[in-house]
Amino acid sequence: DTAVSQTPKYLVTQMGNDKSIKCEQNLGHDTMYWYKQDSKKFLKIMFSYNNKELIINETVPNRFSPKSPDKAHLNLHINSLELGDSAVYFCASSQAPLLAEQLYEQYFGPGTRLTVT
């Protein structure tokens, strides 16, 4: 009964390859996110989707493309992988605020450790 799941847990690949990371949540949330955590543990948001629609797109190379086939899934596709893409990628989800002052905590997946060689 995992709330937010990601696959794969580990991904080792060579520079120049294209890879995808999948994320699924069974919490009924409308909003999903992708974060990147670097080697110094710094967490930075990459994308946010609300009900399959992109609402946050931070400064991320366009080699990264999120895809949301439905509101329970948010996949991350990365083209032409580079050494600097090595990191742990976390998917998260939350309820969608109906009002500006509402806020809901985010639930995180276990992470995908990407190593580019």
Residues interacting with another protein, by CB under 8 A? 4, 31, 40-45, 48, 55-56, 90, 92, 94, 96-97, 100-111
With respect to another protein, which residue has the nearer C-beta, 1 or 101? Answer: 101
Q: Which residues share a beta bridge with 6? A: 23
With respect to another protein, which residue has the nearer C-beta, 15 or 103? Answer: 103
Phi-psi region of 39 (alpha: psi -120 to 50; beta: other; left: phi over 0): alpha
Least distance (Å) from another protein to the CB of residue 79? 25
Q: How far is CA 27 from CA 32, 90, 93, 100, 113, in A?
A: 11, 16, 8, 22, 23
Least distance (Å) from another protein to the CB of residue 89? 11
